[in-house]
């Protein structure tokens, strides 16, 4: 079994889900007392959020790269960024380590294409919805992306940072998200990528008939598959 290096703490709530899912998939495949071989570098999320909102992306990139190199030196055989937004630095990390990076958007694209969809909505942080690093990665797989309008984007973003990353789950926020999903469907989305690893804490497939792509679950599955090869 290969050892995977997890860059977590982005937030710890979603990192805990990664750890749970990866080990669950390994146990399902191997049975018995088997669990995943993992290393984790866990950030103080408050420091990362400050960099994000101050636009200090170069500083954040350096922190992420140092984490990846530390994991590589410690014996990791692949890098896993346990969040969507910080995949903004994925290409820099890919270019500066010798081991593969298992990209969340690549894993998600596989699942989208399995359902024969070519246009999806994307919800996540403003950074993920408004910048190109994530949308362009999906487009390389032939998948078009639509995002909410400005007001809805801000609503999604605020719930992530002010509630979900702090372990707060509100029924009113769930209803607001489901309304936003309906508006994305009206814009042509055949399914929606839950492009923030905290969002599945709030909504899941049983809440809507629109196909949802839980990136935490999908990415964790891809990581387990790599580890078990």
Architecture of the 3-103+218-228 domain: 3-Layer(aba) Sandwich (3.40)
Per-residue confidence (pLDDT) for residue 197, from 0 to 100? 87
Q: Which residues contact 142 (CB under 8 A, 6 or more apart)?
A: 113, 118
Does 196 participate in catalysis according to the annotation? yes
Which of 196, 197, 215, 216 is catalytic? The answer is: 196
Average pLDDT, the chain: 96
pLDDT higher than threshold 90 for residue 79: yes
Q: Which residues, listed in sequence order, are joined to residue 81 by a DSSP beta bridge?
A: 7
Q: Which residues, listed in sequence order, are joined to residue 145 by a DSSP beta bridge?
A: 120
Residues forming CATH 3.40.50.1860 domain(s) in the chain: 3-103+218-228, 104-214
| CATH code of the domain made up of 104-214 | 3.40.50.1860
Which of 38, 82, 83, 125 is catalytic? The answer is: 83
Reported as a single tens digit per residue, the pLDDT across 119-138 is 999 999 999 999 999 999 99
Question: For residue 92, how many other CB atoms are within 10 A of its CB?
Answer: 15
Answer for the pair 85, 57: CB distance below 8 angstroms, yes or no.
Answer: no
Average confidence (pLDDT) over 15-40: 97
Does 83 participate in catalysis according to the annotation? yes
pLDDT higher than threshold 90 for residue 176: yes
Average confidence (pLDDT) over 97-126: 97
Helix segments in 31-125, DSSP class H: 45-53, 57-73, 90-94, 104-114
Reported as a single tens digit per residue, the pLDDT across 57-70 is 999 999 999 999 99
Rounded percentage of the chain residues whose pLDDT exceeds 90: 96
């Amino acid at each position: 079994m290969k050892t995977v290096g997890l860059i977590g703490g982005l937030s710890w709530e979603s990192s805990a889900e990664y750890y749970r899912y990866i080990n669950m998939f390994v146990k399902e495949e191997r049975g018995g007392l088997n669990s995943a071989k993992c290393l984790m570098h866990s950030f103080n999320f408050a420091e990362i959020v400050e960099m994000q909102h101050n636009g200090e992306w170069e500083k954040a990139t350096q922190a992420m790269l140092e984490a990846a190199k530390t994991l590589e030196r410690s014996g990791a055989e692949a890098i896993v960024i346990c969040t969507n937004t910080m995949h903004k630095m994925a290409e820099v990390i890919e270019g500066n380590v010798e081991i593969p990076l298992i990209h969340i958007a690549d894993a998600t694209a596989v699942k989208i294409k399995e359902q024969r969809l070519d246009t999806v909505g994307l919800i996540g942080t403003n950074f993920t919805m408004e910048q190109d690093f994530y949308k362009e990665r999906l487009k390389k797989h032939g998948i078009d992306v639509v995002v909410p309008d400005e007001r809805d984007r801000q609503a999604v973003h605020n719930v992530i940072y002010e509630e979900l990353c702090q372990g707060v789950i509100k029924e009113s926020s769930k209803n607001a998200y489901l309304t936003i999903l309906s508006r994305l469907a009206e814009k042509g989305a055949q399914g929606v990528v839950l492009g923030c690893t905290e969002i599945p804490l709030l909504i899941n497939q049983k809440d809507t008939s629109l196909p949802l792509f839980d990136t935490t679950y999908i990415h964790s599955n891809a990581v387990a598959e790599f580890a078990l090869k």
